[in-house]
């Protein structure tokens, strides 16, 4: 239907070089803003902008104004209660990842939510503990306050119990994370999350899931395994678990298996009957309540010796200042936490903002999480982000705004203040089992790798690199390695671009890779070269090599050989061993044939060939006098297709100029086509042009340049068929290898092919 | 002359979409090598290749075969002697930078040269100490064995004097540098030097020059200043120097000033009369000899208390194994040394190889320097590279091959074994003065910065960033920071490309930025968008935002509004509040106007608009019944110019597909033009196409797509002038805002604009 079969593409216009085009079509003068203008604009005081900026710092005002009490409030209440139940459970469970006493997880599901209510721009995410982040905190905590052995030598640990020291570490790190996020938000660098590509995040979260799985094994099996952090910690942990596996607590294993199987199946049902269920079955909460009751009724703790949540104090603890010494010790680990926490929350928030059609602001989110974490840390909560599963509950149960989040926080508060003691008999293995079942989605990402490999190799390398590094080197180092691999993959893609030699598709103005097509037309002595990438310091040499390969000769080497030959000829002429006649050069002495190469002055062999003092120019492709041999050059015109060259840096500019000059000096006409006008301007600004490298070499399109070349150096008649429309009055000649000397004073066009 | 003024560009061919072109011009099948093939090829055993590989490991065989004894030997001898004298002096001087006793510099000018003779591919560089590298070693040495205070706690330091410990550190680091270079050479990763761009190297060496200058001040002023290493060391050193400056040794200051002034002026003369002098005047050697004699004659050491070179033992010391503990302590610092040492030597070697027309091999050079350093380190020499000034002497005095280098090493050996004691009265201030004068070229690089800024801002940022970081954070950290800034500058250039809206230049097939030209033609409802960069994870969002800005509407938002409106209309029709007549919709109840938005089902609003159950399609730009308002869309066709899109990654593919689908769903025809055939293939491989996103949207050129659009959706007659050649039989219509309903069964072409 859409195939434009018989339709015609007919164009008749003057042949344009960039110069002639610019002359005919004058450009409108546009003043470009420079950096000063931008700064001025940024600093200009403007009442309206100031007001907007102030408002954007408190997004709550914006959405509270449009709050539809009648329609939204009920949904928010239902959603808040459901989310609150999940938040309590997850708060306790993820605390195990952070190696802290469980009730601190309840703090983390309370304090940050309050602040986010006022400062956050997302209306649907459930702020609070995020398993990956908890694990990263746990790794810092066990490094500074290990299970076995004394804590690190930090001022402020004196007189603290192990758990107290751990809470101090966790909240200090959280404070630092908050400071970093706040600073990034203030500096408006929220765009850094762009660098976390899909492949990187997928590989990273898969690795995180494996870490979480391993860290929960000890609870599920009822083993005592010290928390290990640092490089290869996962291997050491697994080693200890396998050594101890025979002493697993059977009761724990049975409870975990039952919980896992039940939760798994009910979750599958939830997924399958998503559209039919008004609210997904809160199976985790149900299982928790049941096991809690069973554990209490049969006193599992004393009879089977299983590890339970244990004492939960009611009420909050007094605020605490962060420890500066811990800041110093953990700065390197806090930074990836700040990035990961924000990136996850932002990406979840974005999904919902697109779905419900409102905008979120990355920098404001950074500020919101920064302040939330700083505030939370003061009350001994640990770093908050969002958990995908909890946010899904909040949204799917009908949450419309952060009012739902606030209500979930209230529910958490009730548990903390009043009914926390009910959770004391809950076995830790249940929490571990719930965490493990929730890893399904993250672990299944590994299935995408084979298809990713078939589609895009570099992306797969990023995925696998990030995942392996994060598993074995730890999450923070792994993220850094992944980022490095990813940025390098971009550089490498740009650095080793596809280069191709193009040819005309017969009967058209279209040029394609000459290896791909048969019905092509390649005029003799013309080479069309395309580079599909910007040119910059890392690929200018590559570009040069590929071009030389395509040309079949190294212009600099040819230039030097020619200059050397010229010196010998000049010397011979001076000595009288060689004479110029109208027939060509005449050897008068045979001794001259042994003239050795003059090595003493290598300095100026790359200068333009100087025919001064010679009666004629020399046809270098012809046989030279005195048995001098220089490589022949069959190319008279080179066309460079710059359509895909989106920028040039200074190294590229320098290298390109050298290359063009060498080519021009060996009498190859160079044409640059389809060059971006911005780049052409830059070339002018950077004094790219001189006596040899002229702006006249720039043509608008490849076909324009080709027509120009064919007019200047016409092809033999039998090959001309498709170009017969062009008025070619210049006589036909073609490079030959016979000895032919042309007069030096002939017009340039004749001799310069 | 070359302006193709009146010449014509005339093309008549069928209109091509990528599909119709591919049908008419079948592609040749080319089997692409996959990774397995490459590995196979690499592992294939081949006698000839094996022989070549073996030969390339000992380049000396290659050039010894062509050694022209008669012509080259004399030059090599002359050059060897000159270079040897300079090497002795520089060996002593640069040792001061490394904070080692001076005679170890003589070792460094001897051992590495021997190995390089056999393994190196450059025939002209003078291997030996390089000031920047010496300074980096000095920084490690003073960190582990400080001037004041005890040495670091390293096994192996027991029972060593301070100088012995320092030599152990220096040679161990050198050994490690050698190992790293050897490994890089074996792994064929010599291409990493490509990442050291001109701007980076220039900024880095300028910073190094400043470090060297500061480190030599104490010798020139005759002060005792402890060596300081690490961050901000330069500030602390300067602080100490200024505190102590009043106690400068006047004799040292006078000697240094005299030496500096004389050397400076004679060097200027050397430069000016370069062509007239057979050999540059070896003023440094002359001044050294003179000052050495004067110092001995007047016993400067005891009378004026100046610091002299002092005792130089004759003969070599027994070899020594490196210390593994030092390896651990210095690994982070050895890596930048390995890179810098190789990069400098390679770039100097390249200059001479181009000049003298032979090839050098980066990976073999890495191996050569690796083995040289490992061998040298065993004999207590420190890391070797090349000094620009010394190599210039070797080449300019006529050195043809490394035979000259070998002879210079012999001269150094003679000094070590026999006449070293003659140098004992040489004041250290003379050495410092010589080093400082030689910094001129490196320091003057700072003059290029203003012009660099005018030409290329990102390159300047790299220059300044590297320089400042290297000055204040130290050379190793500075290099890493510089590399990071540089790679980021590439990413940022690609990440924030120029996007522009193009328009046709009247009367041609040329499209340019519409802001730049006046005589342009823009058909109503058509938008042409060009992105000048590859699209990948970091700029797909940027691309999306810019495109939405250019379009003037967000397709997803429009799609959702339309779907919402459709639901309301369907509900109204069902309830009978709205009826369909041949005239259009008829409101039968006014209550319907208050129909609230249905928030309950936000799920499927981004699905294609489904006109099923409706008597007609709806013209969304017309007034809708029941006071429903959706944003109007004035664009019916969007052309994306992909000429500069050199690659797409998976994130970009996903983002692009989503975007195209949204556009198609709001009835905008999308055309992609000038897409690289490699990318088109990849799109097919990655299942980019489906029922909505069709391969028929790809056109060969922008003009092809434009002609197709104009045929499909013709312009009003008065605007058509330049396209009159196209046979347009379709009737003219144009989007209006009046209420108009078209029949659902009419052909697609009619309704789909």
Nearest by CB to B198, which of A6, A533, A651? A651
- Indicate if the pLDDT at residue A148 is higher than 60: yes
The Cα–Cα gap between B284 and B90 comes to 10
Contact (CB<8Å) B4/A711: yes
Q: How high is the ipTM of this complex?
A: 0.79
Contact (CB<8Å) B704/A9: yes
User: Could you give phi then psi for residue B521, rounded to 5 degrees?
Assistant: -125, 120
Query: How many angstroms away from the CA of B341 is the closest CA of chain A?
Result: 19
Instruction: Say whether residue B8 is in contact with chain A using an 8 A CB cutoff.
Output: yes
The percent of residues in chain B predicted with pLDDT above 70, rounded, is 90
Which residues does chain A have within 8 Å of residue B3's beta carbon, measured at their own beta carbons?
17, 19-20, 696
Q: What is the pLDDT of residue B740?
A: 33
Instruction: Say whether residue A70 is in contact with chain B using an 8 A CB cutoff.
Output: no
Which residues does chain A have within 8 Å of residue B11's beta carbon, measured at their own beta carbons?
9-12, 508-509, 703
> What element of type H or E holds A480?
helix A475-495
Q: What is the pLDDT of residue A257?
A: 94
User: Could you give phi then psi for residue A275, rounded to 5 degrees?
Assistant: -70, -25
Which residues does chain B have within 8 Å of residue A36's beta carbon, measured at their own beta carbons?
none
pLDDT (tens digit per residue) in B94-137: 888 888 888 898 999 999 999 999 999 999 899 999 988 998 99
Query: How many angstroms away from the CA of A195 is the closest CA of chain B?
Result: 6
Residue pairs spanning A and B at CB distance below 8 A? 302
| A contact test, residue of B1, B3, B4 with most A CBs within 10 A | B4
Average pLDDT over residues A251-255: 91
Contact (CB<8Å) A13/B16: no
Contact (CB<8Å) B25/A459: no
pLDDT (tens digit per residue) in A86-103: 899 889 888 888 888 888
Most confident of the ranges A360-364, B247-251, B369-373, B443-447 = B369-373
pLDDT (tens digit per residue) in A486-545: 888 888 888 788 888 999 988 888 898 888 888 888 888 899 999 888 898 888 888 999
Query: How many angstroms away from the CA of B429 is the closest CA of chain A?
Result: 37
Instruction: Say whether residue A459 is in contact with chain B using an 8 A CB cutoff.
Output: yes
Which residues does chain A have within 8 Å of residue B515's beta carbon, measured at their own beta carbons?
28, 30
Which residues does chain B have within 8 Å of residue A16's beta carbon, measured at their own beta carbons?
4, 9, 508, 510
Q: Residue B743: beta bridge partners? A: B616
Nearest by CB to A198, which of B534, B541, B650? B650
Find, in chain A, the residue whose alpha carbon is nearest to that of B685.
A455
Which residues does chain A have within 8 Å of residue B19's beta carbon, measured at their own beta carbons?
3
> Can you spell out the DSSP letters for A93-147?
HHHHHTTS-THHHHHHTTHHHHHHHHH---SS--EE--HHHHHHHHHHHHHHS-S
Q: Who wins on pLDDT, A587 or B532?
A: B532
The Cα–Cα gap between B585 and B572 comes to 11
- Indicate if the pLDDT at residue B619 is higher than 50: yes
pLDDT (tens digit per residue) in B167-218: 999 999 999 999 999 999 998 888 777 788 888 888 988 998 898 899 889 8
| Exposed / middle / buried, residue A341 (Cβ in 10 Å: 0-12, 13-18, 19+) | buried
Query: How many angstroms away from the CA of B386 is the closest CA of chain A?
Result: 22
CB A312 within 8 A of CB A424: yes
Q: Residue B688 is encoded by which pair of tokens?
A: 């980019």
Q: Who wins on pLDDT, B590 or A485?
A: A485
Cβ neighbours around A717 below 10 Å, total: 10
Instruction: Say whether residue B679 is in contact with chain A using an 8 A CB cutoff.
Output: no
Which residues does chain B have within 8 Å of residue A35's beta carbon, measured at their own beta carbons?
457
Residue A594 per-residue DSSP state: G
Which residues does chain B have within 8 Å of residue A538's beta carbon, measured at their own beta carbons?
194-195, 197, 490
Which residues does chain B have within 8 Å of residue A507's beta carbon, measured at their own beta carbons?
13
Contact (CB<8Å) B71/A513: no
Comparing A298-307, A625-634, A676-685, the range with the smallest average pLDDT is A625-634
Mean model confidence pLDDT for chain B: 83
pLDDT (tens digit per residue) in A177-211: 999 999 999 988 887 777 888 888 889 889 989 98
Which residues does chain A have within 8 Å of residue B676's beta carbon, measured at their own beta carbons?
498, 532, 644
CB B369 within 8 A of CB B178: yes
Which residues does chain B have within 8 Å of residue A488's beta carbon, measured at their own beta carbons?
487
Nearest by CB to A509, which of B11, B194, B491? B11
> Quick one: pLDDT band at residue A546, thresholds 50, 70, 90?
very high
pLDDT (tens digit per residue) in A49-87: 777 777 778 888 888 888 888 888 888 998 898 899 889
Phi-psi region of B733 (alpha: psi -120 to 50; beta: other; left: phi over 0): beta
Comparing A34-48, B105-119, B320-334, B426-440, the range with the smallest average pLDDT is A34-48
Instruction: Say whether residue A31 is in contact with chain B using an 8 A CB cutoff.
Output: no
Contacts with A227 (C-beta within 8 Å, 6 or more apart), sequence order: A99, A138, A139, A141, A142, A146, A147, A215
The Cα–Cα gap between A443 and A464 comes to 14
Find, in chain A, the residue whose alpha carbon is nearest to that of B13.
A9
Query: How many angstroms away from the CA of A148 is the closest CA of chain B?
Result: 27
| Exposed / middle / buried, residue B630 (Cβ in 10 Å: 0-12, 13-18, 19+) | buried
Query: How many angstroms away from the CA of A549 is the closest CA of chain B?
Result: 16
Nearest by CB to B10, which of A12, A198, A354? A12
Mean model confidence pLDDT for chain A: 83
The Cα–Cα gap between A146 and A133 comes to 19
- Indicate if the pLDDT at residue B64 is higher than 80: yes
Instruction: Say whether residue B548 is in contact with chain A using an 8 A CB cutoff.
Output: no
pLDDT (tens digit per residue) in A668-698: 999 999 988 888 888 888 888 988 898 889 9
């Amino acid at each position: 239907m859409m195939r434009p079969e018989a339709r015609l593409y007919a164009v008749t216009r003057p042949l344009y070089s960039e110069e002639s085009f610019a002359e005919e079509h004058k450009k409108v003068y546009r003043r470009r803003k420079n950096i000063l203008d931008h700064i001025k604009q940024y600093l200009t005081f403007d009442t309206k902008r100031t007001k907007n900026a102030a408002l954007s710092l408190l997004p709550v005002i914006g959405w509270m104004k449009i709050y539809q009490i009648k329609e939204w409030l009920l949904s928010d209440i239902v959603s808040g209660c459901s989310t609150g139940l999940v938040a309590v459970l997850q708060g306790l469970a993820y605390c195990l990842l952070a190696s802290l006493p469980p009730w601190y997880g309840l703090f983390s599901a309370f304090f940050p939510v309050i602040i986010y209510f006022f400062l956050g721009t997302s209306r649907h995410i459930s702020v609070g503990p995020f398993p990956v982040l908890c694990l990263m905190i746990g790794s810092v905590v066990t490094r500074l306050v290990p299970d076995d052995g004394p804590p690190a030598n930090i001022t402020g640990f004196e007189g603290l119990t192990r758990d107290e020291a751990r809470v101090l570490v966790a909240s200090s790190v959280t404070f630092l994370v908050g400071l970093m996020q706040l600073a990034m938000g203030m500096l408006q660098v929220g765009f850094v999350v762009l660098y976390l590509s899909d492949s990187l995040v997928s590989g990273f979260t898969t690795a995180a899931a494996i870490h979480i799985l391993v860290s929960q094994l000890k609870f599920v099996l009822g083993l005592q395994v010290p928390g290990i952090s640092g490089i290869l910690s996962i291997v050491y942990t697994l080693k200890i678990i396998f050594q101890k596996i025979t002493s697993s607590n059977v009761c724990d294993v049975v409870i975990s298996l039952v919980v896992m199987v039940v939760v798994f199946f009910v979750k599958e049902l939830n997924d399958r009957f998503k559209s039919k269920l008004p609210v997904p079955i809160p199976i985790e909460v149900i299982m928790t309540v049941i096991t809690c009751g069973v554990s209490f009724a049969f006193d599992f703790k004393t009879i089977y010796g299983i590890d339970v949540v244990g004492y939960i104090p009611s009420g909050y603890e007094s605020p605490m200042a962060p420890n500066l010494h811990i800041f110093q010790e953990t700065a390197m680990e806090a930074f990836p936490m700040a990035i990961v926490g924000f990136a996850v929350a932002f990406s979840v928030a974005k999904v919902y903002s697109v779905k419900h059609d409102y905008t979120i602001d990355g920098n404001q989110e950074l500020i919101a999480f920064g302040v939330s974490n700083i505030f939370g840390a003061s009350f001994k909560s640990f770093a908050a982000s969002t958990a995908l599963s909890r946010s899904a509950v909040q949204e799917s149960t009908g949450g419309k705004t952060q009012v739902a989040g606030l209500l979930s926080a209230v529910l958490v508060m009730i548990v903390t203040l009043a009914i926390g003691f009910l959770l004391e008999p809950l076995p830790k293995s249940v929490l571990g089992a719930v965490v493990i079942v929730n890893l399904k989605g993250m672990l299944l990402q590994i299935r995408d790798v084979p298809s990713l490999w078939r589609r895009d190799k570099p992306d797969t390398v990023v995925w696998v690199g990030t995942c392996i590094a994060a598993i074995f080197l730890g999450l923070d180092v792994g993220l850094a390695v992944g980022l490095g691999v990813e940025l390098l993959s971009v550089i490498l893609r740009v650095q080793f671009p596809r280069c191709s030699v193009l040819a005309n598709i017969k009967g058209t103005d279209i040029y394609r890779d000459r290896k791909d097509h048969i019905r092509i037309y390649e005029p003799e002595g013309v080479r069309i070269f395309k580079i599909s990438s910007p040119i910059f310091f890392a690929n200018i040499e590559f570009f040069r090599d590929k071009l030389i390969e395509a040309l079949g000769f190294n212009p600099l080497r040819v230039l030097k050989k020619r200059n050397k030959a010229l010196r010998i000829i000049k010397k011979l002429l001076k000595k009288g061993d060689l004479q110029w006649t109208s027939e060509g050069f005449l050897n008068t002495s045979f001794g001259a044939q042994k003239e050795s190469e003059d090595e003493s002055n290598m300095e100026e062999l790359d200068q333009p060939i100087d025919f001064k003092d010679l009666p004629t120019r020399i046809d270098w492709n012809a046989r030279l006098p005195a048995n001098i041999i220089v490589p022949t050059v069959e190319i008279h015109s080179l066309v460079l297709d710059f359509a895909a060259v989106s920028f040039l840096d200074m190294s590229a500019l320098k290298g390109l100029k050298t290359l063009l000059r060498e080519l021009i000096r060996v009498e190859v006409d160079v044409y640059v086509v389809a060059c971006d006008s911005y780049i052409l301007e830059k070339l002018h600004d950077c004094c790219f042009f001189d006596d040899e490298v002229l702006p006249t070499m720039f043509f608008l399109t490849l076909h324009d340049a080709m027509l120009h070349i064919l007019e200047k150096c016409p092809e033999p008649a039998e090959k001309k068929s498709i170009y017969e429309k062009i008025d070619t009055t210049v006589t036909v000649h073609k490079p030959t290898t016979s000895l032919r000397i042309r007069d030096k004073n002939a017009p340039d066009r004749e001799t310069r092919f």
